[in-house]
Amino acid sequence: MDASHITSELTRVLYTNDQVQARLAEIAGEIDAEYADSDLLLVGVLNGAVMVMADLSRHLTSHVQMDWMAISSYGSGTQSSGVVRILKDLNTDIEGRHVLVVEDIIDTGLTLAYLMQNLQSRKPASLEIMTMFRKPEAIKSPVDVKYVGFDLPNEFVVGYGLDYAGRYRNLTDVGTLAPHVYS
């Protein structure tokens, strides 16, 4: 579904699917160069990173393995609660592995800071972050992000994995959700 199907539910489109795919191709090139001689494990953070992880992996020219974690801090609200729970842990032992955490968005950074601390305790050879979107104005807990797709304004944004109450993840464009939808 693209933004033309839900124009009354968005105030504006920030990035089209073409822009997102072009940026992912650029990032994939950087990752391929950085990890050319490494056994890279991509760790996707469910549910939002499904779209990013799928498309990023298709843009890569090197072999990678994938695993998934599910972390919760939002519920169905529009603000991070700051309380983090691991709902699904990795199936892969990451000790001595090169790990790239793939996120859809970094908002406050609270959830990701917790996740990175948790993963670092498992002794990977390297641990880096790739996020498709970041909200610099919303960051409360700074995290070092190696690859960033786009910076977003501090607005409620949906599409390309980003949701409101489980909806809009399949929107191929990224846009600001109209306040009448969530108020």
Q: Is 107 a catalytic residue?
A: yes
Token digits of residue 173: 């464009």
Across the beta sheet with 65-72, the strand order is: 85-88, 65-72, 40-46, 98-106, 126-134, 147-151
Catalytic-labelled residue, pool 67, 89, 93, 107: 107
Q: Give pairs for 147-152: CB < 8 Å, separation 24+.
A: 147/27, 147/30, 147/31, 149/20, 149/23, 149/24, 149/27, 149/52, 150/14, 150/15, 150/19, 150/20, 150/23, 150/174, 152/14, 152/105
Residues in CB range of 82: below 8 A, 6 or more apart: 73, 108, 110
List residues bridging with 15 in a β-sheet: 174
How far is residue 108's CA from residue 162's CA, in Å, rounded to a whole number?
15
Active-site residue list? 107
